[in-house]
């Protein structure tokens, strides 16, 4: 089955603080140098890397997770986390919302107590949802186990919440 990208969202990736837009069969991005066109393209590639399980390798080849994080100011205590999402649908669908698959991923630094390297990217949450006939069904949800604990203790002293 071939699916077309119908919508895209990126948060906290390089120069893209928060961007969301519907896509058509042909989209052209124009603008001055340094406005984020390449980062938009790279965020789509990163989303593909996460789905293909090549995220760590692909991020390392571009300078690592630190260089992919939001380049602007962050509020004190705000977690460092890249959030990407894409809506996919049958290219011959009558309406953009017909039979829509949505893939979402959150990428961040590992928990300080984990065995991974401190700068190695970690997928914190990954979800695949199908919407059709007016209903949504979650087909896949993967969440790092400690994230559940972190959400319950967020805001408490010593909380491991990072993404």
Number of other CB atoms surrounding residue 158 within 10 Å: 5
Q: What is the pLDDT of residue 42?
A: 93
> Is 159 among the domain residues?
no
Q: Which of these, 13, 9, 36, lies nearest to 121 by C-alpha position?
A: 13
CATH of residue 89: 3.40.50.300
> Is 160 among the domain residues?
no
Q: How many helices (H) and strands (E) in the chain? A: 4, 6
> Is 113 among the domain residues?
yes
Q: In this structure, are residues 126 and 50 in contact, taking their beta carbons and an 8 Å threshold?
A: yes
Write out the two tokens for 134. Answer: 């007016």
Which residues does residue 19 pair with via DSSP β-bridges, in sequence order?
10
Q: Which domain holds residue 65?
A: 4-153
> Is 161 among the domain residues?
no
φ, ψ at 130 (rounded to 5°)? -115, 130
Q: What is the pLDDT of residue 86?
A: 94
> Is 32 among the domain residues?
yes
- Give tens-digit pLDDT for 9-53: 999 999 999 999 888 888 898 999 988 899 999 999 999 999 898
> Is 85 among the domain residues?
yes
Q: In this structure, are residues 126 and 144 in contact, taking their beta carbons and an 8 Å threshold?
A: no
Give the count of domains, the chain.
1
pTM summary value? 0.78
Over residues 40-67, mean pLDDT:
90
- Alpha-carbon distance of 47 to 8, in angstroms, equals 10
> Is 64 among the domain residues?
yes
Q: Which of these, 146, 20, 39, lies nearest to 85 by C-alpha position?
A: 20
- Give tens-digit pLDDT for 105-154: 999 887 665 555 556 788 888 999 988 877 888 888 877 644 444 444 44
């Amino acid at each position: 089955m071939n699916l077309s990208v119908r919508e895209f969202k990126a948060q906290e990736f390089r120069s893209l603080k928060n961007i969301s837009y519907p896509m058509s069969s042909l989209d052209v991005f124009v603008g001055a140098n340094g406005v984020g066109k390449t980062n938009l393209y790279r965020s789509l590639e990163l989303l593909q890397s996460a789905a293909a399980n090549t995220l760590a390798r692909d991020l390392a080849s571009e300078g690592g997770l630190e260089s992919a994080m939001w380049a602007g100011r962050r509020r004190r205590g705000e977690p460092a986390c890249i959030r990407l999402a894409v809506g996919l649908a049958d290219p011959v669908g009558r309406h953009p919302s017909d039979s829509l698959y949505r893939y979402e991923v959150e990428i961040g630094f590992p928990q300080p107590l984990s065995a991974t390297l401190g700068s190695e990217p970690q997928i914190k949450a990954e979800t695949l949802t199908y919407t059709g006939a007016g209903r949504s069904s979650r087909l896949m949800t993967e969440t790092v186990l400690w994230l559940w604990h972190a959400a319950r203790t967020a805001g408490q002293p010593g909380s491991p919440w990072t993404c």
